[in-house]
Copies of this chain bind each other. A is one copy, B any other.
Amino acid sequence: MFSQTVEYALRAVVSLADQAPQPQTTKQIARITRVPLAYLSKVLQGLVRHGIVASQRGVGGGVRLNRSPEDLTLLEVVDAVEPIQRIRHCPLGLAAHGVRLCPLHKRLDDALASIEEAFRCTTLADLLAEPTESVPLCEFPTLRQTGRAVRGTSR
């Protein structure tokens, strides 16, 4: 339902938010988030273009959040890589459709709207604040204690 690209972008910014305001290299993010390195770099390029993250070339460079995690919402990230296509007029392209959607497409669009809304209401900080109590989480929210060698031999 959500595209791979969106999924990857979200993983990346969560990882970055967890380390904010410190930068991470694309390679590090790829390893942590389990995203194919080459593809992740493309996704990150898109996020750079949209001002979600900022990149720094060269030795010691990398990518960092360009916004504070309290301020950056999931919706902004999603919109940057692949905006949710709301249904604005009848997809049948009927002449007599006017602006109003038929009941079917109204429901479909309502569903899309509710997703947008949920994403609009969730910041990266929200995600990072939550996990502290629940134990078995995906890696990145618990990153802080996996002090496993930023410059380790890990591949």
Nearest CB in chain B: distance from A75 CB, A: 11
Chain B residues near A38 (CB, 8 Å)? none
Among the 9-residue stretches A19-27, A39-47, A61-69, A100-108, the one with 4 or more Cβ atoms under 8 Å from chain B is A100-108
Tell me if A136 and B103 are in contact (CB < 8 A): no
Chain B hits for A102, CB < 8 A: 131, 137-141
Flag if A98 contacts B1 (CB, 8 Å): no
Q: Which residue of B lies closest to A136 (CB)?
A: B98
Between-chain CB contacts (< 8 Å), 21 pairs: A1-B85, A1-B112, A7-B108, A33-B92, A90-B138, A94-B138, A97-B136, A101-B137, A101-B138, A103-B126, A103-B127, A103-B128, A103-B131, A103-B137, A103-B141, A104-B127, A104-B138, A104-B141, A107-B122, A107-B127, A111-B115
Interface of A with B (CB < 8 Å)?
1-2, 7, 10-11, 14, 33-34, 74, 84-85, 90-94, 96-105, 107-108, 110-112, 114-115, 118-119, 122, 126-128, 130-131, 134-141
